């Protein structure tokens, strides 16, 4: 079944065979392996589905061991940002900004959210199925009379989960998230999640004070100032160069500044007075790996992506929406 080509075959004192070139096994899928004609005991192939070296024992194919071949997969995972709250301007109570979506990164030496250092890349075995889901941004409060925003939704990559950004407003259980929302009306600021983002900014409980700004993956929100003061920006995001370009994502929503969170940034939405507030930006998943180490499967049903791109000796892919799964195989 197999043909061995080499320039030199030698033996040493222990009667071991030595080759002058690396031994390259035939690479086949599991179904291709099972369809090989007349295999003989001792035949070996590389199974690209399971990432194992398989041998034929005379009656069946078996993996050489229980271990599989893996490669390192770096990621940036960002959840959807929360929406800002709207307030009635004559009530002298400004709406707070939405919190940024949770942010986690394992690329290079870049920080992950909440001020922590980078996480460990995933060790992915060939043939393993990874489930992905990209979260949407929350809505801003509509109208201008004490209308709450809504939370962003979670983004997941396998077991890695980033929580949607908190929403500003008076409704219960909406303020906390990947990053916390800024305080609005009579409610306090939301809390961020450790390793994903920071808390939102508070506000003075007296009249004539605007809401606080939303927390970001890279910094806390700002305390709400007097209504006649300047607008305040949201907490800082985190910058990554995983695509080859330096981009800041997961910024908190401002109060009376900042607008809507852009798509696939996870930014929080702006809180406003006397008019509708802004929604948060949707999340994103970015994966990067050494091109020579692995190939991503062509079938990515249910997911929206821009295709595989190159950055030097690495490949990367950006998932901007949907829910689905991916696999990797030997190149």
DSSP string for 70-121: EEEEEEEEEPPPPPPPEE-GGGTBPPPPPPPPPEEE-STT---GGGPPPPPP
Whether residue 270 is contained in a domain is answered as yes
User: Each residue of 312-328: pLDDT tens digit?
Assistant: 999 999 999 999 999 99
Whether residue 133 is contained in a domain is answered as yes
Whether residue 155 is contained in a domain is answered as yes
166 and 217 assigned to the same domain = yes
163 and 232 assigned to the same domain = yes
198 and 317 assigned to the same domain = yes
pLDDT band at 131 (very low <50, low <70, confident <90, very high): very high
User: Each residue of 72-96: pLDDT tens digit?
Assistant: 999 999 999 999 998 876 555 668 9
Whether residue 4 is contained in a domain is answered as no
Which residue, chain included where needed, has tokens 């003075």? 204
- Residue 75 contacts by C-beta under 8 Å, 6 or more apart in sequence? 104, 105, 106, 107, 121, 122, 157, 160, 285, 286, 287, 288
52 and 175 assigned to the same domain = no
Of 63, 78, 97, the residue at which a domain comes to its end is: 63
The continuous run of DSSP H or E covering 240 comes out as strand 238-240
Whether residue 285 is contained in a domain is answered as yes
Q: 43 lies in which domain range? A: 9-63
142 and 289 assigned to the same domain = yes
**Spatial separation of the C-alpha atoms in residues 325 and 304, rounded to whole Å:** 11
Whether residue 46 is contained in a domain is answered as yes
261 and 307 assigned to the same domain = yes
14 and 145 assigned to the same domain = no
Q: How many CB atoms sit inside 10 A of residue 143's CB?
A: 12
Residue 27: both structure tokens together: 């690479």
Q: What is the pLDDT of residue 67?
A: 57
Of 18, 38, 63, the residue at which a domain comes to its end is: 63
- Give the rounded percent of residues in the chain with a pLDDT score beyond 90: 62
167 and 50 assigned to the same domain = no
104 and 52 assigned to the same domain = no
Whether residue 98 is contained in a domain is answered as yes
Q: What is the mean pLDDT of the chain?
A: 88
153 and 285 assigned to the same domain = yes
58 and 75 assigned to the same domain = no
113 and 38 assigned to the same domain = no
- Give the rounded percent of residues in the chain with a pLDDT score beyond 70: 87
Residue 11: both structure tokens together: 């033996």
Of the listed ranges 20-24, 213-217, 262-266, the least confidently predicted one is: 20-24
Q: What is the pLDDT of residue 1?
A: 46
pLDDT band at 213 (very low <50, low <70, confident <90, very high): very high
Whether residue 3 is contained in a domain is answered as no
- When divided into structural domains, the chain yields a total of 2
pTM of the model: 0.81
User: Each residue of 14-39: pLDDT tens digit?
Assistant: 555 555 666 778 899 988 999 999 99
Q: What is the pLDDT of residue 155?
A: 98
pLDDT at position 128 over 90:
no
User: Each residue of 286-318: pLDDT tens digit?
Assistant: 999 999 999 999 999 999 999 999 999 999 999
Which residue, chain included where needed, has tokens 């910024």? 251
Burial of residue 314 (CB within 10 Å: 0-12, 13-18, 19+) is: middle
């Amino acid at each position: 079944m197999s043909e061995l080509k080499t320039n030199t075959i030698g033996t040493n004192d222990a009667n071991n065979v030595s080759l002058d070139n690396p031994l390259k096994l035939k690479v086949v899928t599991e179904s291709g392996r099972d369809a090989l004609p007349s295999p003989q005991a001792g035949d070996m192939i590389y199974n690209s589905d399971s990432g194992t070296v398989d041998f034929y024992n005379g009656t069946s194919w078996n993996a050489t061991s229980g271990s599989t071949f893996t490669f390192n997969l770096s990621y940036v995972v960002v959840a959807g940002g929360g929406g800002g709250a709207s307030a009635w301007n004559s009530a002298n109570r400004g709406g707070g900004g939405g919190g940024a979506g949770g942010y986690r990164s394992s690329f290079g030496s870049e920080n992950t959210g909440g001020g922590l250092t980078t996480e460990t890349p995933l060790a992915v075995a060939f043939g393993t199925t990874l489930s992905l889901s990209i979260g949407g941004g929350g809505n801003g409060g509509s109208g201008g009379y004490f209308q709450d925003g809504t939370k962003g939704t979670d983004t997941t990559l396998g077991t890695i989960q980033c929580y949607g950004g908190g929403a500003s407003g008076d409704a219960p259980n909406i303020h906390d998230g990947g990053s916390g929302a800024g305080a609005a009306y009579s409610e306090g600021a939301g809390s961020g999640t450790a390793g994903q983002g920071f808390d939102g900014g508070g506000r003075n409980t007296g009249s004539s004070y605007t809401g606080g700004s939303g927390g970001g993956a890279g910094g806390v929100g700002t305390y709400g100032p007097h209504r006649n003061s300047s607008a305040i920006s949201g907490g800082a995001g985190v910058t990554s160069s995983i695509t080859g370009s330096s981009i800041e994502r997961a910024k908190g929503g401002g109060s009376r500044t900042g607008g809507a969170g852009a798509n696939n940034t996870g930014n929080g939405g702006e809180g406003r007075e006397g008019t509708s507030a802004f929604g948060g930006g949707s999340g994103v998943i970015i994966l990067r790996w050494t091109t020579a180490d692995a190939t991503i499967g062509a079938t990515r049903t249910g997911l929206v992506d821009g295709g595989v791109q190159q950055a030097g000796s690495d490949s990367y892919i950006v998932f901007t929406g949907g829910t689905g799964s991916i696999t990797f195989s030997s190149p």
